[in-house]
Structure 1
């Protein structure tokens, strides 16, 4: 299974040109794709409905969009009717396999005063991967401050802990005559993976808090880059950008996997991608099943 995470900056590349297809093409070979900063209804991107365009660009994928930021963009027409429209900004997950369920959650936001800040959060999806259901959290943490990110990670920790006990997106059976079309039990994920733009780099307090998270399956997480490439390997996912408050190159886009997968994956950062102000991160997992991992089986890539 090939995973990819990419903050596409709504399709505006390092050259300043808007080209959504260029950004999407960069990660199109991955089986499961987590995109951040996907929008609809903004003038800077021609008022495009980017989730719909991405779905068209990836016609063989299952797609779910979570608009973590949502504001009014409607207008009243001359005849008094309202043309409803929303201006939205969020995350999108695409998968080669069915997305069995999806839940979005807004994370805590701090008031930055004169400094621009907006709501962020994550999209939890359960993906019907060949080896068993995979829980994927497509995450975008805030850029405002370290205290905000620490609050967000604390909320994320509570959500992960609660997921072990809430029975999934649905539970039990429906006695109502109006069927919910879900007679099967909710899927029980065999692994949880966290991917996205975390706006925090190794050595920072928020990164340490991320590394201390525990999955609903009771597993510790590891940074896939550190586990597979080694902490000494050069790695940049966001280059120096003083206009955005970034005064040095950093690695702020991550993939966290269960510790038992850490030694079995391959990872790379596409340093040549120019479809955004971030660089995409790819991880290839040869097997999801813990039994195969414990036995040392050479399970084919899934």
Structure 2
């Protein structure tokens, strides 16, 4: 099973041009992926550089036939024209359930921010149901980002408890029908924190309930003892000394650790300022 995560930044390449066809071709050349997780998909934001305001949620679904397309719009404004921004997920496997979670957004005076979310899907893979979640955490506010990390941990516990709980509910009961929510999980996204940050450490921290498998960093499993490969700033001309750096990750619940076969950052990709990251599970 192959999973890619990528902050596509509306498909705006390092040449300043937004080209979704080119972006999809790059992803397909990188891997014949089973699940694709995207951040910064846009619709209607005509003031963003290199982007004409087209509905990228619809365009990406058209460009990837054969996949179930799920949108996770976190900024969905009833404007004229409509404006939306957020995450998407594509699955080659049947999608058993999709959940769209709003992440905490505590008010802070004078701090630029936006509503953030996590798009979750339980997919029916040949190895059994798998919960895949993609997110994009706050950039400007450490306080908001820390709260969002806590919520991701809470959602992980909640999903595992759902998986362990016997609930009534048949198909005839409509929305009360029981739909699987998998315990085994992969969490992907642009987390806007560095590998040595307290946020990264907190996301990986054990739970008070020792029966809950904690999240593990797939990079550390595939490349033990090696520094993370950078995912941002490889192809820009910025003179800043802290570039390139890593803020894009794939995590997985500890019960999936034996299945990790490969974790690779596509260092040559120029489809956005971020590099796609690939996880392969056996």
> Which bracket does the TM-score occupy, shorter chain normalised?
0.7 to 0.9
Inter-partner Cα distance in structure 1 for 2:133 and 2:214? 15
The answer to whether the 8 A contact 1:174-1:180 is kept is yes
Q: Unaligned stretches of 5+ in structure 1?
A: 75-84, 287-302
Aligned length: 271
Where do 1:1-302 residues align within 5 Å?
1-28=1-28, 29-43=32-46, 44=48, 45-74=51-80, 85-111=81-107, 113-166=109-162, 172-173=168-169, 180=174, 185-212=178-205, 218-233=212-227, 235-239=229-233, 247-263=242-258, 264-286=260-282
Inter-partner Cα distance in structure 2 for 1:242 and 1:198? 23
Inter-partner Cα distance in structure 1 for 2:226 and 2:7? 24
Inter-partner Cα distance in structure 2 for 1:113 and 1:242? 33
Q: TM-score scaled by structure 1? A: 0.80
Larger Rg: 1
Inter-partner Cα distance in structure 2 for 1:242 and 1:204? 25
Inter-partner Cα distance in structure 1 for 2:255 and 2:101? 27
Inter-partner Cα distance in structure 2 for 1:205 and 1:242? 29
The answer to whether the 8 A contact 1:191-1:217 is kept is no
Quote the RMSD (CA, aligned, Å): 2.9
After superposition, the Cα gap between the structure-2 partners of 1:226 and 1:242, relative to the gap in structure 1 and judged at 3 Å, is: same
Inter-partner Cα distance in structure 1 for 2:139 and 2:237? 13
